[in-house]
């Protein structure tokens, strides 16, 4: 196969779920790995359930993840003329026929098939009637009655389907609407798709699609059916397992590269490596490393991996991801050099960007609000003198480097006889309002002389007023 062409065909009936996103990722990565093409197709033939809001949500999720498409987006709802043309081809070649059996009659056929120990299927009653188009008539595919249809799957190996167990499925409904198995084959043929990577819940559809390819004289694509993603209870993945839409993870402060890393590892592996940058995944992704067993979605592992990606990322690269969270909290953060320093101190302690934004607030606020428990424990009368001494020492510094700051703290320690912890923790509360924060010297250096002295003075005043 020369140029690989893959596709991602979401249905716009809701947000892009992480399971669907993983399918899109596999197709995108394989196209990028092979230097091929990635096509986006919106499967919106279900007009009643498809919405523009869902289409926009799919676009937003893919763009946030950085999954760019090379062709499309195509909309099935705008391709009905093409489907009509292909129905006519199958009718003219004798590979399709009109059927006037009612739904009640078809249901009765299925019951008879089951009662006889066979399959619940249409029995071909109209197969040789030679009916023409008419009201309440569907178009059925004239499927082979004998032999077998073989799915040569790149993940699962060969799967054999006996044709006698399949039936003459509907291509076009009585209202003229085409059916799923028919339109996806027409789309894949006309779009040149030669590699189809999708969930293994589609395996049962594939023999019908293979028969359609052959009836239309088209080359078969490579099929790769990947195991589904399950929850910890081994049930099909759902919201109750902590798996939400891609945009929800964006709002919760996950990095796109962390989500991509985690989703790809649910079903694909490269040795024992767990942490991957995007470019590594593109370089190493291949179909032969897709596993045969289902991946289990674990929100805790995803959170831990997100923390790893935050820690590994250069501070400057996190700025565009963090800025929207800061803006939502009323912080403009226009000084990118200052923000980069802030991020550097918060990276080791942040599991999400939301956590990081909340932890960054003290760097930007004009007035520190002390946590009640922190103030009660550390802003007590016995630290008033050390705080005032530290203010005096800091006022005398021209250089606010870490070395000079350490010297100022040591002089206060010598004068008071207190250990660093006894001084640093009240200072931490004075500067941040909390008992947990980045290193005290990092904070002081970034906040700068003016703000540090103002906050220490305010804390001393708070202690005086309280006592």
- Check: CB of residue 126 under 8 Å from CB of residue 97: yes
How crowded is residue 452: how many other Cβ atoms within 10 Å of its Cβ? 22
Q: What does the alpha-carbon distance between residue 58 and residue 459 come to, in Å, rounded to a whole number?
A: 50
Asked if residue 141 lies in contact with residue 211, where contact means CB atoms within 8 angstroms, the answer is yes
Q: Report the distance separating Cα 186 and Cα 161, nearest Å.
A: 22
Contacts 24+ apart (CB under 8 A), 51-56: 51/12, 51/13, 52/12, 54/12, 54/13, 54/14, 54/15, 55/12
Tokens for 282, please give them: 């593109």
Q: What DSSP assignment string belongs to 312-326?
A: HS-HHHHHHHHHHHH
Return the beta strands (E) in 311-411 as ranges: none
Cis peptide before 140 (omega within 30 of 0): no
CA–CA distance, 206 with 204 (Å, rounded to integer): 6
Among 111, 232, 239, 373, the one annotated catalytic: 239
Q: Are 441 and 402 in contact (CB under 8 A)?
A: yes
Residue 65: partners with Cβ closer than 8 Å, 6 or more residues away: 21, 25, 246, 256, 259, 260
Would you say 360 and 464 are in contact if contact means Cβ atoms under 8 Å apart?
A: no
| Alpha carbons 195 and 219: distance in angstroms, whole number | 11
| SS3 call for 15 | coil
Catalytic (active site) residue 239: yes
Active site residues: 239
């Amino acid at each position: 196969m020369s140029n690989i062409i893959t596709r991602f065909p979401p249905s716009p009936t809701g947000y892009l779920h992480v399971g669907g996103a993983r399918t899109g990722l596999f197709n995108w990565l394989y196209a990028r790995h092979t230097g091929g093409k990635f096509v986006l197709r919106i499967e919106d033939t279900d007009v009643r359930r498809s919405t523009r809001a869902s289409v926009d949500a799919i676009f937003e999720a893919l763009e946030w993840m950085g999954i760019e498409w090379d062709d499309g987006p195509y909309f099935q709802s705008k391709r009905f003329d093409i489907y009509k043309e292909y129905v006519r081809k199958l009718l003219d070649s004798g590979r399709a026929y009109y059927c006037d059996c009612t739904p009640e009659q078809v249901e009765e056929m299925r019951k008879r098939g089951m009662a006889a120990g066979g399959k619940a299927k249409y029995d071909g009653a109209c197969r040789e009637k030679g009916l023409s188009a008419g009201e309440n008539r569907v178009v059925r595919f004239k499927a082979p009655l004998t032999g077998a249809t073989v799915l040569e799957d790149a993940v699962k190996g060969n799967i054999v389907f006996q044709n006698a167990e399949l039936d003459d499925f509907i291509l076009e409904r009585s209202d003229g609407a085409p059916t799923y198995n028919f339109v996806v084959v027409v789309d894949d043929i006309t779009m040149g798709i030669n590699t189809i990577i999708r969930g293994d819940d589609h395996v049962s559809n594939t023999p019908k699609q293979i028969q359609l390819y052959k009836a239309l004289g088209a080359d078969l694509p490579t099929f790769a059916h990947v195991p589904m993603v399950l929850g910890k209870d081994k049930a099909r993945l759902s919201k109750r397992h902590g798996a939400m839409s891609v945009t929800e993870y964006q709002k919760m402060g996950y990095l796109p590269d962390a989500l991509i890393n985690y989703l790809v590892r649910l079903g694909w592996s490269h040795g024992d490596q767990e942490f991957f940058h995007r470019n590594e995944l593109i370089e190493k992704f291949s179909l032969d490393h897709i596993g045969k067993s289902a991946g289990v979605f674990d929100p805790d592992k995803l959170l831990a991996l997100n923390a790893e990606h935050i820690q590994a990322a250069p501070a400057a690269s996190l700025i565009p991801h963090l800025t929207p969270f800061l803006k939502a909290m009323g912080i403009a953060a226009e000084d990118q050099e200052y923000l980069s320093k802030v991020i550097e101190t918060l990276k080791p302690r942040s599991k999400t960007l939301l956590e990081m934004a909340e932890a960054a607030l003290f760097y930007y606020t004009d007035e520190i609000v002390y946590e009640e428990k922190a103030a009660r424990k550390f802003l007590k009368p016995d630290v008033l003198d050390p705080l005032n001494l530290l203010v005096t020492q800091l006022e005398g510094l021209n250089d606010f480097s870490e070395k000079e700051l350490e010297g100022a703290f040591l002089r206060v320690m010598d004068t008071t006889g207190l250990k660093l912890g006894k001084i640093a923790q009240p200072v931490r509360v004075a500067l941040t309002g909390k008992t947990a924060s980045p290193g005290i010297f990092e904070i002081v250096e970034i906040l700068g002389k003016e703000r540090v002295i103002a906050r220490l003075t305010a804390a001393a005043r708070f202690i005086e007023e309280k006592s």
